[in-house]
Amino acid sequence: MSGTGPAPGPRAGFDAALEAALAEAARTGESGDVPVGAVVLDPAGAVIGTGHNEREATGDPTAHAEVLALRGAAEHLGGWRLTGCTLAVTLEPCTMCAGAAVLARVARVVYGARDPKAGAAGSLWDVMRDRRLNHRPEVIPPDLVSEAVADRCGAVLKSFFAHRRFR
């Protein structure tokens, strides 16, 4: 035993993906959009799609961070099958986004904050692990990423909603 402490777990690399998603979330700026960001990584770990919420900015009800990141990844790869890819998002996907991840055939979905009101990756619904579907991505919830990154994902959202309540 070397005494250097435990080796990082196999999911330690997902913190960097969530950091990239947090940077995307910051791009919502003053648009009024909920600051959620997402990135898609190819099987080698390179970012091939990014997105942040743009519903308010564009008037598009489907302009969720995850959908935009999946669209960008599909464009990058030249097809809709995102086999082997990872979707990392700051907030647990809703039913629409969870369904999009399933239909895109992503290998895994990593998220940094739970959404007890609309989460479809285990909080309110569990769309991605529904055995009736033909594809089920691995789901990596906040308790399987570093506490610091998960806390930051939650803090961005708490700050946004606290600020909106006092306007």
**How many residues can be counted in the chain?**
167
DSSP state, 6? P
Number of Cβ within 10 Å of residue 164's Cβ equals 10
> Is there a contact between 18 and 110 (Cβ–Cβ < 8 Å)?
yes
Active-site residue, selected from the candidate residues 30, 66, 75, 92 = 66
Which residue, among 107, 30, 110, has the nearest Cα to 66 in the 3D structure?
Answer: 110
Number of Cβ within 10 Å of residue 152's Cβ equals 17
For the record, the structure tokens of 115 come out as 């959404």
The dihedrals phi and psi of 43, each to the nearest 5 degrees, come to -60, -25
Is 97 annotated in a binding site? The answer is: yes
Question: Would residue 66 show up in a list of annotated catalytic residues for this protein?
Answer: yes
DSSP state, 63? -
Angle between helices 14-26 and 147-165 (to 10 degrees): 20
Is 85 annotated in a binding site? The answer is: no
Instruction: Tell me the catalytic residues.
Output: 66
Q: Which residues are annotated as a binding site?
A: 64, 94, 97
Q: Which residues are annotated as a binding site for Zn(2+)?
A: 64, 94, 97
